[in-house]
A and B are shown apart, each in its own frame.
Chain A
Amino acid sequence: MLVENYYNIDGVTAREGGAVFSISLRPDCTVYEGHFPGSPVCPGVCSMQMVRECAEKAAGREFRIKEIKQCRYVSLMSPKTHPQVTVDLSLEPSGEDGLVLLKASVMKGEELCLSLKAVLE
């Protein structure tokens, strides 16, 4: 885990072409000392990194992010107000040599927090 103590994985369900992760965001992660003082909000890039790490777990290999085609942050995430989130991701070959297309969404309950489309290598 790049950002120490950012989250715990509570469960993983494999599905065709991907996986669904149940996750607890950890309020004790030191990143919240600075983002922001007195107002803990998940840094968007840390949540993206969490999705990338889930993709690496699902695929059993490491990836480098080559291109973020689109990453939309629809609603804010915070370990204080809503620590339970799910990461739903799929991985498919992206046509070019060895590249992989990652599509993922992060939800808190029924609400979409983040949707990501990225090319990995």
Chain B
Amino acid sequence: MQTAPIVEGEGIFRLIPQRPPIVMVDALFSVSESGAETGLFISSDNIFVSGGCLMEPGIIEHVAQSAAAFAGYSQYLSGEEPKLGYIAEIKKFSIGKLPLAGQHLRTRLEVLGQAGNMSLLSAVVSAGEEEIAGGQMKIFIKE
């Protein structure tokens, strides 16, 4: 089912601190307390595309920036600038298939836990209708 994003295109710059050439999320479809749904159109000139495929680090950075957009959305609503965030840990992250340039990624994020500036999230990444990757990530947000 296609829903219109809440935030898309360069509007995402209000939510994340990353800028070109390393912007790996371009849509926020839904947000709740417990998670979010995000997206990315994989353009052929994406920094992580090689041989027509989005390589593994690109998929993982998409998940990390999806988490940044999720955190940034509530900061944005309270009138703050997006904060810098770093990946603290990637765990049990499987990549079944590399998506192709020209495809849209769609990612479901779920918050598993939060302590101080650290969030533990799980993510499932789909390309088209197919789940291609998923796993856990810990993100550290710098105050």
Q: Do A and B bind each other?
A: yes
Residues of A near any B CB (own CB < 8 A) = 2-3, 30-31, 33-37, 39, 41, 43-46, 48-49, 52, 64-73, 76
Which residue in chain A gives the minimum CB-CB distance to B95? A65
Cross-chain contact A33 with B19 (CB below 8 angstroms): yes
Number of B interface residues in the complex (CB < 8 A): 30
Tell me if A's interface is mostly helix, strand, loop or mixed.
mixed
A-B contact count, CB below 8 Å? 85
Cross-chain contact B89 with A71 (CB below 8 angstroms): yes
B52 contacts the other chain (CB 8 A): no
Cross-chain contact B57 with A46 (CB below 8 angstroms): yes
Contacts of A76 in B (CB 8 A): 86
Cross-chain contact B86 with A35 (CB below 8 angstroms): no
Alpha-carbon distance A41/B21, docked complex (angstroms): 14
B window 44-62: CB within 8 A of A: 47-48, 50, 55-58, 60-61
Q: Would you give the 0/1 interface string for B4-19, flagging 1 where the beta carbon is closer than 8 Å to chain A?
A: 0000000000000111
Contacts of A71 in B (CB 8 A): 87, 89-91, 93
Cross-chain contact A35 with B22 (CB below 8 angstroms): yes
- Residue from A30, A36, A45, A52 with most neighbouring chain B CB atoms (10 Å): A45
Alpha-carbon distance A76/B88, docked complex (angstroms): 10
Contacts of A37 in B (CB 8 A): 19
Cross-chain contact B87 with A44 (CB below 8 angstroms): yes
